[in-house]
Amino acid sequence: MTKWNISPVNSYSYEPLRIQVYNVLREAIVNGEFMPDEKLTELEIAEHLSVSRTPVREAFRMLEQEELITIIPQQGVFVSGIKSRKEIDDLFRVRVELEGLAAYLAARNINEEQIKQLKKYAEEIEQCIEENDLKGCVRIDIAFHRIIKEASANKWLERFLDNLFMQATRFRMKSLAQEGRMVNALNEHRRLGEAITRGEAELARRYMEEHIQAAWKSILAVFEEEHKDQKGV
């Protein structure tokens, strides 16, 4: 039973099992613990986590709405995977728009506490780059975007960005690993953070749009590289 490395659920938690199972599975999918297109069977997951099928089924229904899995009735549950260039384009086309809006709103709403955090991350990421700490970079990149998302203080925007973010996560590491991408991202973050801090909303939006577009291009490059000898398969 060591097929997967997924955290157990906590029997002493007051949270319903379905929510714990949901969290465990979401993490596992986002972190690539399950392979894309892999079939997840209720019983197997349930036994791994030592719960019955019911909470697993309910967790599946929740994950389905976020496109992390695909449920085909009477057949089963399959892990979603980004498989075509169009899917990447669809994802980033929307992300450019929504992250841009988030930056715009953040520049108008951000409070002192959040500004302080933004500055802290700016310093930390600089250090990560010096040490060539890829994982640290990814962690801070995520935190940076989270602050802006929260500062936008718009429920729908936050929800949608969460969805898109999870989908993009699998690519983030590979993208940042590219030569020069990390340093570019740092610079993009810096001027973006400054624009938000100064409350220049339209400028912040433009910088964010350019930042996401750069990430888009970078991820496409990774994708094309991975698929260059699989054309027409």
Partner DNA sequence: ATGGATTTTTTTGTTGACAAAAGTATGATA
Partner DNA sequence: TATCATACTTTTGTCAACAAAAAAATCCAT
Among 144, 160, 165, 223, binds its own copies (CB under 8 A): 160
Supply the DSSP symbol for 153. Answer: -
Q: Which does 52 bind (CB under 5 to 8 A by kind): DNA, its own copies, none?
A: DNA
55 near DNA (CB under 7 A): yes
Q: Measure the CA angle with vertex 211, ends 180 and 140; round to 5°.
A: 70
Calculate the alpha carbon distances from 104 to 65, 92, 157, 195, 200 in Å.
28, 18, 12, 10, 8
Sign of torsion, CA 65 209 177 129?
Answer: negative
Q: What is the size of the binding site for its own copies (CB under 8 A)?
A: 32
Site string for its own copies, 52-81 (x = CB under 8 A): --x--xx--xx-xxxx-----xx-------
- From candidates 4, 7, 16, 116, binder to DNA by CB under 7 A: 16
Pattern 93-112, binding to its own copies, x per CB under 8 A? xx--xx--x---x-------
In degrees rounded to 5, what are phi and psi of residue 111?
Answer: -105, 175
Q: Which residue lies nearer to its own copies by CB, 164 or 182? A: 164
How far apart, in Å, do the first and last CA atoms of the chain sit?
A: 34
* Contact pattern for DNA over residues 72 through 111, marking x by CB under 7 A: -xxxxx----------------------------------
* Cα–Cα distance for residue pair 16/44, rounded to 1 Å: 20
Could you tell me which residues come within 8 angstroms of residue 208 by beta carbon, excluding any fewer than 6 positions away?
99, 100, 102, 103, 104, 148, 192
Report the C-alpha gap between 40 and 185 in whole angstroms.
Answer: 36
Contact partner, 51, from its own copies, DNA, none, Cβ < 5-8 Å per class: DNA
Which H, E and C letters describe 123-142, residue by residue?
Answer: HHHHHHHHCCCHHHHHHHHH
CA distance 196 to 106: 7
Of 25 and 105, nearer to DNA (C-beta) is 25
Q: Which is nearer to DNA, 68 or 168 (CB)?
A: 68
For position 10 contacting DNA by CB under 7 A, the verdict is no
Residues that bind DNA (CB under 7 A): 16-18, 39-44, 51-55, 57, 71, 73-77
Residues that bind its own copies (CB under 8 A): 15-16, 18-19, 54, 57-58, 61-62, 64-67, 73-74, 87, 90-91, 93-94, 97-98, 101, 105, 154-157, 159-160, 163-164
